[in-house]
Amino acid sequence: MSDPQAHSGASSLGTLDELPQDYRDAMTSANLVPLWPSMRGFLPHDAPRPQTRPALWRYSEVRPLLLRAGSLTPIEKAERRVLVFSNPGHGLDGLHCTGTIYVGMQMILPGEIAPNHRHTPSAVRLVVEGEGGSTIVNGERLPMERGDLILTPALQWHEHTHAGSGPVIWMDALDLPLVVGMEASYALEGASQTVKNGLDASVTRYRRAGLVPYQNFASPRAQYPLMRWPWAEVRAALEALASDTDEGKPVHLGYVNPETGGECLPTLGFSAIMLRSGEEVTLPRDSASAVFHVVSGTVQAEVAGEALLNAEDADVFAAPAHARVRLVNRSTAKPAFLFQIDDAPLQRKIGIYERFDA
């Protein structure tokens, strides 16, 4: 990006050791620090220097460890049995997948309940495997089928149940690093919810895009009218868009609030990408950080110039803010599908979202 107002006179700034010790001691005892030695660290020239590294988590490695957690740690001892995808650039204890996005893989076993709670971070789930799982959000039971997106927005009651057989596994994504950074992260526990619905709103009130219950026009748009986006619908919509998109151009759909047409959550954005067989796509570069989850297929990704190993079903990779992402479908026979999480909604709200190419 070239900004006519920018000029890069690379002047170097003063350092701490240039200052007399008695001056530094006096500052320290007054809880003061000089800005200039760390100025370039906080405001690097021309582009951010993310700690987040392009990184890949393989489901073939995660799954056996998650299954083992099932016998090592009963649900009562875990509440949420999750292995967290910690970006090595942030240090493993920070629970960052990117600077703003937390991602983990969660498992519940038949008969288990991940108990009811609500918290200030917002969460979503993308279902990976197993049948019979449900998330209950504010009394609405949401079936968890492979590829479904399920929202549990900030401060909404949610619990997970499993009435089937075999493990149910899904990916969690939260804006936890943000809310922790705001020192506003906390949770409340509650008694198990009473389910009020039969079918969920994705197959009743919000069955089709472009149609909403008429009486809703008389009331303010709901903040979270829809909590589940069934994968079968998303996949069909991607295939339809592909039929009207030139080869090499992204077939990319965003998930929206059906009442407002805006993003589903205030902080994080969700979208799905289809790569046709053998197709190679470069996503328009922007200022957001992102996490990609392969729903199905074999995808070779290049993130910020770094080639990642082929990503396959349920593998996850992270892209730092400002990174260019190139995706190649390694199959010449089958399409590949990816689910994307990014922090563009929050960046837009605070006025820092930038798009660097058309």
Closer to ligand GTQ by CB, 120 or 310: give it.
120
Helix (H/G/I), strand (E/B), else coil: 130: coil
Nearer to ligand GTQ, 87 or 106 (CB): 106
Q: Kindly report each contact of residues 14-19 with a partner whose C-beta sits within 8 Å and lies 24 or more positions away, as own/partner.
A: none
Residue 87 binding ligand GTQ, by CB under 6 A: no
Indicate the residue among 176 and 290 with the shorter CB distance to ligand GTQ.
176
Burial class (CB in 10 A: 0-12, 13-18, 19+), 225: middle
Q: Token digits for 293?
A: 């989850």
> Which of residues 55, 82, 150, 323 is near ligand GTQ by CB under 6 A?
82
Residue nearest to ligand GTQ (CB): 172
Q: Please say whether the dihedral angle defined by the alpha carbons of residues 280, 282, 283 and 289, taken in this order, is positive or negative.
A: positive
**Structure-token pair, residue 227:** 């909590």
Say if residues 155 and 120 touch (Cβ distance below 8 Å): yes
151 binds ligand GTQ per the rule CB under 6 A = no
Structure tokens at 1: 């990006």
**Closest CB 104 distance from ligand GTQ, rounded Å:** 4
The position carrying tokens 């799954």 is 63
104 binds ligand GTQ (CB under 6 A): yes
Binding map of ligand GTQ across residues 173-212, x = CB under 6 A, - = no contact: -x--------------------------------------
Q: Is the distance from CB of 50 to CB of 322 less than 8 angstroms?
A: yes
Q: Find the binder of ligand GTQ among 52, 86, 100, 106 (CB under 6 A).
A: 106
The residue behind tokens 């090595």 is 88
Q: How far is the CB of 222 from ligand GTQ (least distance, A)?
A: 22
Residue showing tokens 């009486």? 215
Residues 114-143 that bind ligand GTQ (CB under 6 A): 114, 119, 123
In the complex with ligand GTQ, the residue whose CB is nearer, 85 or 292, is: 85
CB of 32 to ligand GTQ, least distance (A): 38
Radius of gyration of the chain (CA): 22
**Nearest distance from residue 114's CB to ligand GTQ, in Å?**
6
Q: Is 153 exposed, middle or buried, given 0-12, 13-18 or 19+ CB atoms closer than 10 A?
A: buried
| Minimum distance, C-beta of residue 119 to ligand GTQ, in the bound complex (Å) | 6
237 Cβ partners below 8 Å, 6+ apart? 209, 253
Binding-site residue total for ligand GTQ (CB under 6 A)? 10
Shortest distance (Å) from residue 192 CB to ligand GTQ? 14
* Contacting residues toward ligand GTQ, per CB under 6 A: 80, 82, 104, 106, 114, 119, 123, 158, 172, 174
